[in-house]
Amino acid sequence: MYLDERNEFADDVTIPTPIARALLGDVIDLGGAAFNPVVPGDVGQGKTPMYLVVQITTAVTSAGAATVAFELSSDAQAAIAVDGTATIHYSTAAIPKATLVVGYVAATVALPMQTPAYERYLGIIANVAAAALTAGKANAFLTLDPAKWSAYPDTI
Residue 117's CB: how many other CB atoms inside 10 A? Answer: 16
Quote the Cα angle for 2-5-90, to 5°: 80
Q: What is the structure's pLDDT at 115?
A: 60
* Count of residues making up the chain: 156
What is the rounded distance in angstroms from the CA atom of residue 106 to the CA atom of residue 18? 19
Pick the CATH number of 5-143 from 3.50.50.60, 2.60.120.1110, 3.80.10.10, 1.10.3720.10: 2.60.120.1110
CA torsion through residues 6, 7, 13, 15, sign: positive
Confidence of residue 88 (pLDDT cuts 50, 70, 90): very high
Q: What is the pLDDT of residues 45-77, one digit of tens each?
A: 666 788 999 999 999 999 999 999 999 999 999
- Is the backbone of residue 120 left (phi > 0), alpha (psi -120 to 50) or beta? alpha
**Ranges of H-type helices in the chain:** none
pTM as predicted: 0.85
Structural contact between residues 72 and 113, judged by C-beta atoms closer than 8 angstroms: no
Quote the Cα angle for 20-101-143, to 5°: 80
CA atoms within 13 A on the CB side of 33: 0
Q: What is the structure's pLDDT at 94?
A: 98
